[in-house]
Amino acid sequence: MPSRKVSKAIIPAAGLGTRFLPATKASPKEMLPLVDKPLIQYAVEEAVSAGLQDIIVITGRGKRAIEDHFDVSFELEENLKESGKEKLLKEIRRISELANFCYVRQRHARGLGDAILCAQHLIGNEPFAVILGDEVIDAPVPAIGQLIEWYENLGTPVLGVYEVEPEEVSSYGIISAEPAGPRLFKVTDLIEKPSLQEAPSRLAVIGRYILPPGIFSVLEKTQPGKNQEIQLTDALRTLARSSPMHALLVNGNRHDAGDKLGFLKATVEFGLKNPELGDRFARYLKGIRF
C-alpha cells in the first residue's frame, strides 16, 4: 500500500494568462503582485507552512521570472547588504531558502490535466498536493494542510471546495456530492465549467487537491474536454466512478485572483491587512466618494 505521507506539491504555472492581457504579454501572470508578493509566492508559502518541502512548478515559455524569483540573487543581496537594508535582505534570502524547487516545462498548453502529467516522473508512487496559484486562500490553517489532514485520515483523494454564487458555477469544476461529516462530502461526480442548468451543486473546486499517484494513468487516457484541453476534472470524474473521493469545504477567506475583479478584491483585503499600509489604506478607502 502506498504511504499516506504527502511531501510534494505541484504548482502549475504554464498557463498563458489571457484574462490579464496585456499585463501578461511579456511577464507571467503568476508574478502579478498582491501588494508586495507575487501570486505564486502565496502558493509556495501555503505549501511550505503545511509541511510540503518539495515544490514542482510546471512552467512554459516566457516563465523564467518565476525561477529567478525563488533563486539566490547575488547582486541584489550584495546591494542590500551595502546599503544596510537588513530587513529586506533577510526577506530576499528567505525566499530563496523556502523550499526545494524543481521546474518542468509543459511544451504545449494542453490544459491542467496535461500539466500535472508533466510531473509524473518526479512524483513516483506517492500521494501529492496540487495548488493552483490563482486561488489565494487566507486561512488560519493553510488550506492545503486542511486537506492533508483529511487525506491522512481517509486515504482517498481530497478536493478543496467552496460554495460559489449561481452566476459563478460556469467558471469552475463543480462537484456532485453527499454530506459525509462536518464540512466533508463524498464526491459522486464532477463536471468542468457547467452551465447553471447542468451544475449539480454550487460547490466549486478551488484549486486545492490531494491526489493519489493512480491519477496519472487515468490522465494518460483522458481525452481533451472543455476548451479542447485535457481537464484534471475529467480524470477525477473517471477516478470517482471506481473509488471513493472526498471534498472538504475549506475554512478560510478565498480569493479567485485569476479573475480581474477577484484580483482587485484580494488586493484591497491584503492591503488592509498589511501592517505597514493597512491603517493609511483604510483611511484612504473611507474617504473615496462614489
Rule CB under 6 A: choose which of 58, 233, 239, 245 binds ligand G1P.
Answer: 233
Q: Is 206 in the site for ligand G1P (CB under 6 A)?
A: yes
The distance of closest approach from Cβ of residue 236 to ligand G1P in the complex, given in angstroms and rounded to an integer, is: 9
Letters for 81-120 (x = contact with ligand G1P by CB under 6 A, - = none) are -------------------------------x--------
Q: State whether residue 79 is helix, strand or coil.
A: helix
Binding of ligand G1P by 207 (CB under 6 A)? yes
Min dist CB 101 to ligand G1P, Å, is 22
| Residue pair 203/174 in contact by the 8 Å Cβ criterion | yes
C-beta separation of 189 from 237 below 8 A: yes
Rounded to an integer, what distance in angstroms lies between the CA atom of residue 195 and that of residue 282? 38
Alpha-carbon distance 132 to 9, whole Å?
Answer: 10
Q: Are 40 and 69 in contact (CB under 8 A)?
A: yes
Number of residues interacting with ligand G1P: please give it, by CB under 6 A.
16
Nearest to 29 by CA among 12, 11, 42, 16: 16
Beta-strand pair 37-38/203-211:
unpaired
Please report whether residue 204 would count as binding ligand G1P according to CB under 6 A: yes
| Separation CA 52–CA 55 (nearest Å) | 7
Nearer to ligand G1P, 114 or 256 (CB): 256
Q: Which lies closer to ligand G1P via its Cβ, residue 54 or residue 134?
A: 134
The yes or no reply on residue 134 touching ligand G1P (CB under 6 A) is yes
Q: Which residue is nearest to ligand G1P (CB)?
A: 173
Q: Are strands 37-38 and 158-163 parallel, antiparallel or unpaired?
A: unpaired
Shorter beta-carbon distance to ligand G1P: residue 42 or 89: 42
Q: Does 212 bind ligand G1P (CB under 6 A)?
A: no
CB of 120 to ligand G1P, least distance (A): 19
Neighbours of 33 (CB within 10 A): 11
Name the phi and psi angles at 212, rounded to 5. -85, 160
In the complex, minimum distance from the CB of residue 132 to ligand G1P, in angstroms, rounded to a whole number: 5
Provide the minimum distance between the beta carbon of 283 and ligand G1P in the complex, in angstroms, as a whole number. Answer: 33
- Residues near ligand G1P, by CB under 6 A: 112, 132, 134-135, 172-173, 192, 204-207, 231-233, 256, 258
